[in-house]
A = this chain, B = another copy of it.
Amino acid sequence: MAEFDFIAWLRARTPADPRVVVGPGDDAAVLAPFSRPVLVTVDMLMDGTDFHVAEVGPRLAGRKAMAVNLSDIAAMAGRPVAAVVSVALPQSKGRGFGEELYVGIREVADQFGVSVVGGDTNSWAGGLVVSVTVFGEATARGPVLRSGAKPGDWVMVTGPLGGSILGHHLHFTPRVREALALHEAADLHAMIDVSDGLAADLNHVLKESRCGAVLVAEAVPISPTAHELSRTSGKSPLDHALGDGEDFELVFTVSPADGERLLRDQPVPGVRVSKIGECVAEGLSLEAGGERRPLAPTGWVHQLGE
């Protein structure tokens, strides 16, 4: 890891974590041994693709870069532990720009007790690029994979979907606590976070699980922003809920018995768990007004356009 002002700056602001043996400043960070399986995920975000930094500023860009990775750990029902961050800063920006970026990164990391243990800060003539790698630990129940869904499972989701582009994608709270609470309350067969869109991400689960699913249009919880966006987009609110990306809610499958219990008990404070469909032998389809038709993994809209 290259030396840079930010490493010292970061080190001064990193609270002592007993799991961190050696923090930023050496050639590598050293973490205490992991007694459980180690979860590792990485996401790289680029200006102009994942955010427009001129509009949203570096703090929200940093926030999102950390949050999307924590969402991946949540999707496995893991506990996030530590992170390393590599950054290419635009040369045209000053030190304050980089500091604001790190403030955003740390805000989300602190919320979940994640230590930023190292990094590599660079500047160049190009646009802002942030890559975050997060390490987590599986709980005693083990990680929840994409591959465990079975025909007959209920398909459930943690919150309303669609219209994330209006702001949610920058401000969302990764569903780390929710995933742990659900994992404790029920035997989660398969799980994923909604980053590409409900239909697309559910399709990833179905592919890995070698089964299908039927979603019920009336059961899909639609966010107020999906309704708002629908007024100008020419798409229905349901189109947005099925096709929009970056909701970062959790989609998971459970046995009907567990599903009924989750619906009744609602074990996650402040988050309403909904049943949106059921797993079947094969295919992905949508039931609307009693009629069933195929649902393209890219969502309802794309299919209509075909």
**Residues of A participating in the B interface, judged by any CB pair closer than 8 Å:** 1-3, 21-22, 25-44, 46, 48-49, 72-73, 75-76, 78, 82, 84-88, 117-120, 122, 124-127, 129, 131, 133-136, 138, 143, 145-147, 192-193, 195-196, 204, 208
Would you call the interface of chain A mostly helix, strand, loop, or mixed?
strand
Looking at A33, A36, A38, the one whose CB has the most chain B CB atoms below 10 A away is: A38
A147 surroundings in chain B (CB, below 8 A): 26
B30 and A143 contacting across the interface, CB-CB below 8 Å: yes
Known pairs A46-B124, A88-B44; A76 contacts B26 (CB<8 A): yes
The count of identical subunits is 2
Shortest CB-to-CB span from A16 to chain B, Å, is 17
A46 and B122 contacting across the interface, CB-CB below 8 Å: yes
CA distance A82 to B193 in the complex (A): 24
CA distance A201 to B175 in the complex (A): 42
CA distance A48 to B88 in the complex (A): 12
A26 surroundings in chain B (CB, below 8 A): 76, 145-147, 208
Closest to A25 in B: B208
Shortest CB-to-CB span from A126 to chain B, Å, is 5
Looking at A41, A138, A193, the one whose CB has the most chain B CB atoms below 10 A away is: A41
B2 and A86 contacting across the interface, CB-CB below 8 Å: no
Looking at A44, A46, A82, A138, the one whose CB has the most chain B CB atoms below 10 A away is: A44
Interface residue from B30, B88, B193, B196 paired with A76 (Cβ < 8 Å): B30
A125 surroundings in chain B (CB, below 8 A): 48
B40 and A118 contacting across the interface, CB-CB below 8 Å: yes
A133 surroundings in chain B (CB, below 8 A): 40, 42, 84, 86, 133
Shortest CB-to-CB span from A203 to chain B, Å, is 10
CA distance A138 to B2 in the complex (A): 21
Known pairs A42-B1, A129-B88; A33 contacts B36 (CB<8 A): yes
